[in-house]
Structure 1
Amino acid sequence: MRILHLGKFYPPHAGGIERFVAELAAAQRSAGHAVAALVHASPGVATPTRRVDADGVEVHAVPCHGQLLFAPVSPGWAVHFRRLMDEFRPDLLHVHVPNVSAFWLLASRRARRVPWVLHWHADIPADSGQIALRLGYPLYRQFERRLVERADVAVATSHAYAQASVPLRSHARRVAVVPLGMGDAPAPGIAPAWPGAGLRLLAVGRLSYYKGFEILLRALSDVPDASLLLVGAGDGAAGLQATVQALGLQARVRLAGHLDDAALEAAYRACDVFCLPSLDRAEAFGMVLLEAMRAGKPIVASDIPGSGVGTVAGPDNALRVAPGDAGALADAIRTLAESAALRERLGTSGRLRWEREYRIGAVSAAMDAVYRSVCSGHATAG
């Protein structure tokens, strides 16, 4: 089969969705498919690029002139899409959303000739605290609805998210659930040193409001025998550093910024507990949870209603707390600090679940079953 992935970005651009798309594409190549990806170049890159990566995936990056409310500004996307449809001649389009550029498909005759798999990674938060995003959503929703209606199937990453998503609930009969996945870990490099003694906590993610890292800092202030390595970059860095200063945590918190894959893997292996304190459904799944499980580490995570986090971080491999509750988060950290046996049990269970449920090969096989179904139905309809 000839599969064309349509996404926002692609590695080395950092991000959980980007990493998943690349790992899925690589697994599909290993399974014998021809695979290409049409994505945006990193913001500010004005020259299109075309390369074949180490896994044999054709990656076509369209110029991107910045981002508006997290959406790449790429007026030339449609032209590159038409050209790639003629050159690559895909049997199927695998469309990863949110991605405003995907709306161009609604006007494309070429796109109508092949089935679409719409991979629903997350809802757009219509009640976002960002006024521009909240005001712009009604217009976005019109195109979003048409995209869901046109797709042959929508793939959600968990049953919980599919049931909570208003756009998907209206089309529940055409929703399939396939979790995200990842392959084997890279060779570890050298991790940054933890800033203090005691229980080594690790948190990883974009430094944004919904990640709940400020809540984690407040919890840490009540657990003196623990230190935190916080990995990630974003516009919330200055605010978090100010919180560290205000809480007097300078000796126990290190904001490490972005790490390469080798150093990040070393950090996972060196930590005692992984923390995901996210606040709402903007955290739809949590690819970082899979990284922690793969490393055999216990997890403390927010139990977010309507999110896949509670599926991945289950009672067998994680302690879950109410989002935004610093006291409950501190209690969970103390519980794990007091019991090495509990940490070992949760970490081992998580590793086994990753091997059984979230290895990229198993996820790719499940996606193949979705492909076969939609291609058969599309041919019958045609």
Structure 2
Amino acid sequence: MRVLHIGKFYPPFAGGIEHFLADLLPALNRQGVIAAALVHDEQPRRGGQQPLPGDHPPVYRAPCYGRLLYAPVSPAFPFWLNRVIREFQPDLLHLHLPNTSAFWAWMVPAARRLPWVVHWHADVVASAIDRRMALAYRLYRPFEQRLLAASQAIIATSPPYLEASAALAPWRARCHIVPLGLDPARIADPGPAARERAEAGWGRTSAFRILAIGRLTYYKGHDILIRAAAALPDTRVLIVGTGEHRDRLAALIQSLNLNGRVHLPGFQPEADLNALLACCDVLCLPSLERTEAFGLVLLEAMRFGKPVVVSDIPGSGPGWVVSQADHGVPVPPGDP
């Protein structure tokens, strides 16, 4: 069987869904499923099938001209979808949602002729934090529901998320729960050089080390972690990632006089990220809304035997992940 995955981005873009997809494609190939992916390129002037190491499955990238409310803007995506279907000749489309570009499957005749599986990574949440999302979802929902109606099967990532999802409620009969996984070989034990860089990043401190990893965006709750750090004097906090809230978080750190204990080191290569995980005392996932649907980074921390503290968001997956693994503490969201 030949399966074409439609996603948002792909590594080196840093994100949980992106890392999951990069682990999934080779795993499918090892099981005899010939897989490929069509995603967005972060560079508008690029595009195409860019080489990846070894015998990695093909990844095609359509040019992207920025984002509108967190959604990639890629006018050429339908042309790329048609081209990749013609070149790769898939038997099945595997659509990873949320992703507005997946809606082009309705407009491309070659895509409409194929069966679809929808991988439901998260609802588009009508956010109480970013109220633009509520208006945007009114426009998004009809396309989303039409896509779900045409799907052959829907994959949800945890029981509580499926149970709480209003978007999936009409389609429960075709939903299947398959929790996310990762390739343990990717989460490799760091070498001496990476450990040395991690120790430098932690300031070679003996203080309790709290690590958070994720996009610096509205629903991640990093401001809650920073405020909690103010009440925990013998701690050092690293919040790894990039995003539109970086300046806001930096200003909060400054206002609370935490510059010596809370740091925003930005993007980190995977080897350095693994080393930071290996050298921390605990991983914290302080997200506030159901946009945080699973928390793949929790599995990455557990790979190193690290305990995790997660926001137990009602109707979402992170608290369930921790309870299933019995390897952490769920806490009420939004409470420093």
- Taking structure 1 as the reference length, the TM-score comes to 0.82
Q: Equivalent residue of 1:211, what SS?
A: coil
Cα displacement (A) at 1:128: 4.7
Answer with 1 or 2: which has the greater Rg.
1
Supply the distance in 2 between the matched residues of 1:52 and 1:249 (Cα, whole angstroms).
43
Q: Corresponding residue for 1:253?
A: 262
Q: Corresponding residue for 1:228?
A: 237
Q: Corresponding residue for 1:193?
A: 201
Supply the distance in 2 between the matched residues of 1:134 and 1:312 (Cα, whole angstroms).
27
2:78 counterpart of 1:68: no
Q: Assess if the C-alpha contact under 8 Å between 2:129 and 2:219 holds in 1.
A: no
Task: For 1:32-181, list aligned pairs within 5 A.
Answer: 32-42=32-42, 44-54=43-53, 55-181=55-181
Cα displacement (A) at 1:136: 2.3
Supply the distance in 1 between the matched residues of 2:72 and 2:249 (Cα, whole angstroms).
26
Structure 1 residues 63-113: Cα deviation after superposition (integer angstroms, max 9, x where no partner): 111111111111111111112212211111110011111111113332233
Supply the distance in 2 between the matched residues of 1:147 and 1:33 (Cα, whole angstroms).
24
Structure 1 residues 297-355: Cα deviation after superposition (integer angstroms, max 9, x where no partner): 011111110111011122721111100111xxxxxxxxxxxxxxxxxxxxxxxxxxxxx
Q: Equivalent residue of 1:265, what SS?
A: helix
Supply the distance in 2 between the matched residues of 1:86 and 1:243 (Cα, whole angstroms).
51
Supply the distance in 1 between the matched residues of 2:268 and 2:259 (Cα, whole angstroms).
20
Q: Corresponding residue for 1:19?
A: 19
Q: Corresponding residue for 1:349?
A: none
Q: Which runs of 5+ in 2 are unaligned?
A: none
Supply the distance in 1 between the matched residues of 2:50 and 2:33 (Cα, whole angstroms).
17
Question: Which of 296, 320, 323 is equivalent to 2:330?
Answer: 320
Q: Assess if the C-alpha contact under 8 Å between 1:119 and 1:156 holds in 2.
A: yes
Q: Equivalent residue of 2:231, what SS?
A: coil
Q: Which runs of 5+ in 1 are unaligned?
A: 327-382
Q: What letter matches 2:188 in structure 1?
A: P
Q: What letter matches 1:29 in structure 2?
A: N
Q: Equivalent residue of 1:166, what SS?
A: coil
Cα displacement (A) at 1:52: 4.5
Cα displacement (A) at 1:132: 3.6
- Taking structure 2 as the reference length, the TM-score comes to 0.93
How many residue pairs are counted as aligned between the two chains? Answer: 325
Question: Which of 213, 227, 236 is equivalent to 1:218?
Answer: 227
Q: Assess if the C-alpha contact under 8 Å between 1:5 and 1:38 holds in 2.
A: yes
Supply the distance in 2 between the matched residues of 1:144 and 1:288 (Cα, whole angstroms).
27
Q: Corresponding residue for 1:303?
A: 312
| Residues 1:193 and 1:66: Cα distance change in structure 2 (over 3 Å) | closer
Q: Which moved more, 1:309-318 or 1:49-58?
A: 49-58
